Amino acid sequence: MLDFQITVDAGTGDEIIEVPLSSLSLLDCPLFNKGSAFPDDERAEFGLHGLLPPHVGSIDEQLERRYRDFEQKRTELQQHIYLRDLQDRNEVLFYRLMAEHITEMMPLIYTPVVGEACEYFSRIYRRPRGLFISYEHRADLETILENRPYRDVDVIVVTDGERILGLGDLGVGGMGIPVGKLSLYTLCGGINPARTLPIFLDAGTDNEEALADPLYLGGRHPRVRGAEYDDFIEQFIGAVTRVLPNTLLQWEDFALPNARRLLDRYRDRLCTFNDDIQGTAAVSLAAILAAGHVSGTRLADQRVVILGAGSAGTGIADQIVTAMIAEGRTESEALAQLWLVDRDGLLHSAMTGLQPFQQRFAQPLERLTGWAVGAGGYTLAEVVGNVHPTVLIGTSGRPGTFTEEVVREMARHVERPAIFPLSNPNSRCEAAPADIIAWTDGRALVATGSPFPEVVHGGRTFAIGQCNNAYIFPGLGQGVIASGARRVPDELFLASARALAEASPARTTVGGSLFPALEDIASVSRRIALAVAGEACRLGLADPSPPEELAHRIDARWWHPRYGKLRRQR
């Protein structure tokens, strides 16, 4: 574990980082490596003369050199690998390059390219990042946590790799998700990368192709399930609360049977949330709120159909109910506005085999009197034809399910239909934005899960906003940490969604995106952080602090990708 100290020069007031490294060990540390930009005095102090070319370069020179290299990569996967290699060599340069080319590069380190990188993880693996905790080592969890790279940790992102995006069980390949998420915490939310920790819980895999691959790097056994799995998770949480008791823990890409129940089990024991459930819900709610502003309708009056009643779909529904209640609806009134459709059709009270978290959204069967029902239950087309939804959301992972028939039927009854095909990656998207715009004669308000280009229709250009959780969790995390919040209830996600919706370009620009440009995501994250911190104080989850004090804390904590002055720790 690397332990460094930050001091302030009494004469100049400059921040100085004291590090216990020198020579090659310093050049091998991505957090402090400056490469050719090490100044002469630091080269002498740290024993670097002769190990670097003689020219003392600037970060701007390095950026130009690295971007030229980047442009030579022919595929998106090669570009992803190049950026990850840069991160493993020089964190400051990596984040500076990312910040200056965020629209081009963010999709390469996260959705959609991270999905392909996870599939090839064992073949493109180069350097360890974070912690791999296997079931076989469950008795040594505290020792493993003590092996973390840096002492202080603000945020953990953890996965077991069982449900990676829409790709399923990728085993150890799932580690690409925590690594990618935490990169966005830093890039978008100003969290110091030295205070982040990606963790992979290796409970095995049921992916036969991975198990048969001689290069597979994970545990070569079927997934541990049942009581043994639950005990493994309990041991992990127990170790985290003892070793890192003040850390925010984010669950990521756990399978449907586990995601909700683990959140419910632990949300009152530590500062934790599930981004697939709550983060997706908040960013989706922000899109609904922004679309409502454009169409001049209240959230409480929306009729919402969600295709896909898994963790993401029910999480969105939960957040909508919370927001509708805040606008004056009762819980029963809010639930009556939500229609969830899964593989066996619309969820209703006569269905058997529903998960506990789905039962809340089962419509009373008597409301369906006169509806046609086929062998597959009440279909999406049947629901849309009877409900006339104002909002249609897809979290199904089934491409093409928002058909022309469904979209045109919705648009017949709604002037500005809000249609959000959110499944990732693009190959899993419920409908292409260009088709939705064409089928609604340019009236639809569209947001997608993965990035899509602008759509030109009828002489007009439509910006397609990406309903990306990165608009929520980095700012939320910064607000939770800066305020010292002890828990992460749904009200903090509602505050995040409202702050994001207020920044929507569609509120002021015809044809504008429902979400801000990625170039503005850091300033949006700061706005969200301040809203979250204030709400945490209002709810009594953190010690009371005035807004100006919270803003000062957020700004003081915000990490910027620039080279700091280094001094050798004696």
Residue 192 lies in a domain: yes
Same domain, 412 and 467: yes
Q: What is the domain extent for residue 403?
A: 278-471
Residues 383 and 318 in one domain: yes
Whether residue 310 is found in the same domain as residue 368 = yes
Domain count, the chain: 2
| DSSP codes joined into one string, 119-181 | HTHHHH--S--SEEEEGGGGGGHHHHHHT-SBS--SEEEEE-SSSBTTTB--GGGGGHHHHHH
Residue 181 annotated to the active site: yes
Confirm whether 568 is domain-assigned. no
Residue pLDDT tens, the chain, 570 long: 888 998 877 777 778 999 999 999 999 999 999 999 999 999 999 999 999 999 999 999 999 999 999 999 999 999 999 999 999 999 999 999 999 999 999 999 998 899 999 999 999 999 999 999 999 999 999 999 999 999 999 999 999 999 998 889 999 999 999 999 999 999 999 999 999 999 999 999 999 999 999 999 999 999 999 999 999 999 999 999 999 999 999 999 999 889 999 999 999 999 999 999 999 999 999 999 999 999 999 999 999 999 999 989 999 999 999 999 999 999 999 999 999 999 999 999 999 999 999 999 999 999 999 998 888 899 999 999 999 999 999 999 999 999 999 999 999 999 999 999 999 878 889 999 999 999 999 999 999 998 899 999 999 999 999 999 999 999 999 999 999 999 999 999 999 999 999 999 999 998 899 999 999 999 999 999 999 999 999 999 999 999 999 999 999 999 999 999 999 997
Percent of the chain with pLDDT over 70: 100
Of 471, 502, 523, which one is at a domain's C-terminal end? 471
Q: Does the annotation place 246 within a ligand binding site?
A: no
The model's pLDDT over 239-297, given as tens digits with 9 standing for 90+, comes to: 999 999 999 999 999 998 899 999 999 999 999 999 999 999 999 999 999 999 999 99
Same domain, 332 and 259: no
Neighbouring C-beta atoms of residue 350, cutoff 10 Å: 9
Looking at the domain assignment, is residue 58 inside a domain?
no
In contact, 475 and 526? CB cutoff 8 Å: yes
Q: Can you read off the two tokens belonging to residue 182? A: 């935490």
In a domain, 254, yes or no: yes
**Neighbour-count burial for 76-114, b at 16+ CB within 10 Å, e otherwise:** ebebbbbbbebbbbbbbbbbbbbbeebeebbbbbbbbbb
Could you tell me if residue 514 is inside a domain?
no
| CB contact at 8 A, 188 and 475 | yes
Same-domain check for residues 164 and 290: no
pLDDT digits (tens, 9 = 90+) for 281-311: 999 999 999 999 999 999 999 999 999 999 8
Considering 471, 495, 520, which residue would you say is the last residue of a domain?
471
In a domain, 436, yes or no: yes
Same domain, residue pair 177 and 293: no
In a domain, 43, yes or no: no
**Annotated active-site residue in 110, 216, 266, 563:** 110
Any catalytic annotation for residue 73? no
Identity (one letter) of the amino acid at 416? R
Contact criterion met (CB below 8 Å) for 37 and 57? yes
Q: Known binder of ligand: residue 424?
A: yes
234 assigned ligand-binding residue: no
Cα separations in angstroms, 417 against 353, 410, 441 = 32, 7, 11
Q: Looking at the structure, tell me whether residues 360 and 457 fall in a common domain.
A: yes
Same domain, 303 and 332: yes
**Same domain (yes/no): 254, 308:** no
Does the annotation place 253 within a ligand binding site? yes
CATH code for position 194: 3.40.50.10380
DSSP 8-state assignment for residue 275: I
Give the chain's radius of gyration (CA, Å): 24
Answer with the one of 270, 286, 311 that is the final residue of a domain.
270
On whether 490 is known to bind a ligand per the annotation, the reply is: no
CATH code: domain of residue 314: 3.40.50.720
pLDDT value of residue 9: 76
- Examine the domain organization and report whether 299 and 415 are in the same domain: yes
- Is residue 185 in a domain? yes
Do 180 and 217 sit in the same domain of this protein? yes
| Active-site choice (34, 95, 135, 181) | 181
pLDDT of residue 301: 94
Find the angle CA(423)-CA(426)-CA(427) to the nearest 5 degrees: 95
The full DSSP string for 396-416 is S--TT-S-HHHHHHHHHH-SS
330 shares its domain with 442: yes
Q: What pLDDT is recorded for position 14?
A: 79
Query: What is residue 458's three-state secondary structure?
Result: coil
